[in-house]
Structures are given as structure tokens and as C-alpha cells.
Structure 1
């Protein structure tokens, strides 16, 4: 039987990402888990009502020059912050160089991470995630609030700009030619 988040007892003695990933390989379970300083955090899969957002963003991304160079925008990929933290953004931008690093079994961190806000996430969760992404080297983090039809674009844990309606949002300088009108994503 495969353990589910409700039947799986999560260990509390793990201190490093290596220990956590060894546990993950040993115990068969469903779903993704983030690991933050000894805490194993269930990461719910993207919900059906969020698919249209991910689909829209990926479809926009495939028209960029970096896509033609082998970069990608992928759902729910690992982003390593350090030896004690691993996050899983809803979408992660991965460069061609990072793809090669992954093939060499190296860990990568997000340069650009996208999270789609759900009702279960608290403001503290958002702040913790932001700090971790930027500690790992992120240059840009988006929090998309579907119910409010807004995108909160963070260039640091403390600097953000809100985009909505007919605002044009851009991922420059990370992906210079990816931009769109916010309302188009929610149409």
C-alpha cells in the first residue's frame, strides 16, 4: 500500500536535504514534500482550477528566445536553497545550463519561481517561501492570486509590484521577451 499524506507519519529527526531525500526514496508515498530546516511540508499538487494559469504561462513562454535556446518553464520542479531547504514552486524557470547541471546530478535553485496562491496558504507561508527562493538565488518570484486576478511580482523579499487588469507584466531581466497583459491570463 502506498502511504498518503493522511496515513504517513512524517519523521521529525531529519536535518538535511540529503537525509530527507533518502527518506523519500525509502518510503513510498504519494505527493510532493518540501523540506525546510528539519520540517517536512506536504506540497499539494496544482489544482484543476489552476491548470489554465500554468497552461497560459507555458504557452507564452514557448514564444521566447530562451525557449528556442533550450530553457524551460516546468511545473513543480525541485528548487534547492541550501543543504537544509528544498522548495517546489508551482512553476520553475530552468535554463539550458541548469538542465545540464541536473543531468550531472547537481542541484539547482530557481532563478524565477511562480506560485499560485491557494486558500490554505498563510501570509507567513508566502513570506517564508519568498525568503527561501531569494536565499537560493532567485531574481524574480511571482505570486498569482487567481481569485483577485492579480500577480504580485517580487524582485526581492521586500520589494514587489502588483499587476492587474490591463497592466503589462514582464519577466525581464530573467526572460527579457516574456510579457503579457494580466487580464489575458484570467480570460
Structure 2
């Protein structure tokens, strides 16, 4: 028996809302994960092994916070809804226990704190668009981890950012005041 690969179906271009996109996903299922932004379906690349240690460091550090003790989560690749036409999937997203419990009722949640790891395929425009989307959804903090330069850019608004590197202390305050570390510890 000769096995042949089935042709990859092109992604639809006629979908206008997150609800339409999620209906399409349920009906036609595609491998991988996607973001949906104003009619565009954006494929999310899988986490690379060289990024895994970053995610591991951050999630294990989060497990030492008061928020974790309350039942909150810092979780990878979880949907974060912006509005009816935008849904993002941050590399790591913070959700409170109340938000997690509210998902049982079908309510769509928005992260207050998103962490993204810059990928080779992302342009500066992509970064700015994601940051804007998170803040449009009500985020208070966005971190962009830049492994190649061993630094983290912290956004406290779409228009204000500060880069941290080396032995500088980074903190997720005011969202998570006890979630802090020296940047070089992340890249050790």
C-alpha cells in the first residue's frame, strides 16, 4: 500500500469574525494553532527547543508567586480574546483563577499580562500590532523576550517600552509584584 500525503487545504479568506473563525476550526480542523486578526488567519509556529528553557524558567518562577498560590496561571499558548475580530495566542499568558473558572460558562478571557518570545519570522510591524492588540484588550503589561540579544522589552502601554538586559532586575509589577528576576538568569 502506498501512502500519499493529502494536499494541504488553503486557509479561508472569507471569515470576518472570531466566531466565524472558531466555527471553521471546529468544522474543518487544521493542525497547528492560529491567531485571528481582522480576517487574517496567522499560523503560530510551534515552540522551538531553544525557547523551551525560557518558558520553563518563567513558569517555574511563576509557581513561587502569591498569584500561583491563589490558583492563577501563567500558561503557554492560551487564547486571549481582544474583541469580535481579534484573538491572540501569547507564548505565555497570565489568567486569574476567577478568569479560569469563568471559562466554564463560555466567557472569553483576555490576559492582563502577555509574554511573547520574538521569532525569526516576526517583523517589527508584527510586534507593534500584537502589543497594540493586547493593550486594546485591557492588558496592563506585555513582555517581548528577544533571545538573540538576551534582553526583554517591557511594554507598559502600546507607546512606552523599556529594554532590560544583563543583571538588570525585571518585574511584572503591578500585575505580579513578586514575579521578578535578573534578566541574565533567564538566559543562563
Q: Which residue of 2 aligns with 1:119?
A: 120
Q: Which residue of 2 aligns with 1:163?
A: 164
Residue 99 of structure 2 aligns to a residue whose secondary structure is helix
Instruction: Say yes or no: does 1:80 pair with 2:81.
Output: yes
Residue 74 of structure 1 aligns to a residue whose secondary structure is strand
Post-superposition CA distance 1:162-182 (Å, at most 9, x none): 100000000001011110000
Residue 147 of structure 1 aligns to a residue whose secondary structure is helix
CA distance in structure 2 between the aligned counterparts of 1:28 and 1:122, rounded to whole angstroms: 28
CA distance in structure 1 between the aligned counterparts of 2:144 and 2:8, rounded to whole angstroms: 30
Q: Which residue of 1 aligns with 2:30?
A: 29
- Which protein shows a greater Rg? 2
Q: How does 1:9-48 map to 2 (within 5 A)?
A: 9-48=10-49
Residue 22 of structure 2 aligns to a residue whose secondary structure is helix
CA distance in structure 2 between the aligned counterparts of 1:146 and 1:44, rounded to whole angstroms: 16
Instruction: Say yes or no: does 1:49 pair with 2:50.
Output: yes
Instruction: Say yes or no: does 1:134 pair with 2:135.
Output: yes
Equivalenced residues, count: 185
Q: Which residue of 1 aligns with 2:104?
A: 103
Deviation at 1:118? 1.1
Q: Which residue of 1 aligns with 2:179?
A: 178
Residue 42 of structure 2 aligns to a residue whose secondary structure is strand
The unaligned stretches of length 5 or more in structure 1 are: none
Residue 74 of structure 2 aligns to a residue whose secondary structure is strand
Which consecutive aligned stretches of 4+ in structure 1 deviate over 4 angstroms post-superposition?
Answer: none
What is the TM-score normalised by the length of structure 2?
A: 0.95
Residue 58 of structure 1 aligns to a residue whose secondary structure is helix
CA distance in structure 1 between the aligned counterparts of 2:138 and 2:86, rounded to whole angstroms: 13
CA distance in structure 2 between the aligned counterparts of 1:85 and 1:126, rounded to whole angstroms: 15
CA distance in structure 2 between the aligned counterparts of 1:56 and 1:144, rounded to whole angstroms: 13
